[in-house]
A and B are shown apart, each in its own frame.
Chain A
């Protein structure tokens, strides 16, 4: 079975450029999560969607970050303009649902972003 699929796996970009990260959740999963992981701050939840609707974006660091989920099988996380401090691994994850017990979240392999 296909897991959560993310692209690109690695990206190196210059400061000021726009970065778009993509995610395809596991088929049938209704909840999608974007996480960021850095050495300094550990694992941070940026935003999550339930049934394509953003539920909580309080973890989004600032207006330069935006996320969309136009349909059940695709989501994007965009950074515009990018800055060196955005360098991190960005993980997408999905689960069957978010609003009940017994959920298990499955992670994609991550997008390793370096902004120089």
Chain B
């Protein structure tokens, strides 16, 4: 069965630091990849997604993610984080193997120190 791994459960950074959150998946075929963000006390919102084409995907709020097929990875990046980026970030994958159901990572809690 397909799985999604997010390497870090908690990340603490200072404002203006660069961010990279890891996401790896296990399926070797065609995948669709997502990053969702959940701000404290709020619902999950789509940050960005990759279906096909340019493997470098730009999302909202200055986030981007790069799909590296050879590494089964879809890491999330932001060059300079802000206090308002404090949130939990979820990576998710769909594929034919999962009947196009979202397979979720466990989430990474990001805390930005002002």
**Other-chain contact of A45, B36, B95, B101 (Cβ < 8 Å):** B101
Is A26 in the interface zone, CB < 8 Å from B? Answer: no
Contact partners of A43 in chain B: CB under 8 A: 44, 90, 104, 107
Q: Are A101 and B107 in contact (CB under 8 A)?
A: no
Q: Are A98 and B101 in contact (CB under 8 A)?
A: yes
Q: Are A98 and B42 in contact (CB under 8 A)?
A: no
Given that A42-B107, A45-B101, A48-B101 are contacting pairs, would A101 and B43 also be in contact in the complex, using a CB cutoff of 8 Å? no
Given that A42-B107, A101-B51 are contacting pairs, would A107 and B45 also be in contact in the complex, using a CB cutoff of 8 Å? yes
Mark each residue of chain A from 29 to 45: 1 if its CB lies under 8 Å from any CB of chain B, else 0: 00000000000001101
Contact partners of A101 in chain B: CB under 8 A: 30, 32, 51, 94-96, 100
Number of A-B contacts (CB under 8 A): 45
Q: Are B43 and A109 in contact (CB under 8 A)?
A: yes
Given that A43-B107, A102-B51 are contacting pairs, would A91 and B100 also be in contact in the complex, using a CB cutoff of 8 Å? no
Contact partners of A103 in chain B: CB under 8 A: 32, 94, 100
Is B106 in the interface zone, CB < 8 Å from A? Answer: yes
CB distance from B36 to the nearest CB of A (A): 8
The CA-CA distance from A110 to B40 in the complex, in Å, is 13
Is B34 in the interface zone, CB < 8 Å from A? Answer: yes
**A: which residues have CB within 8 A of B?**
42-43, 45, 48, 56, 91, 93, 98-110
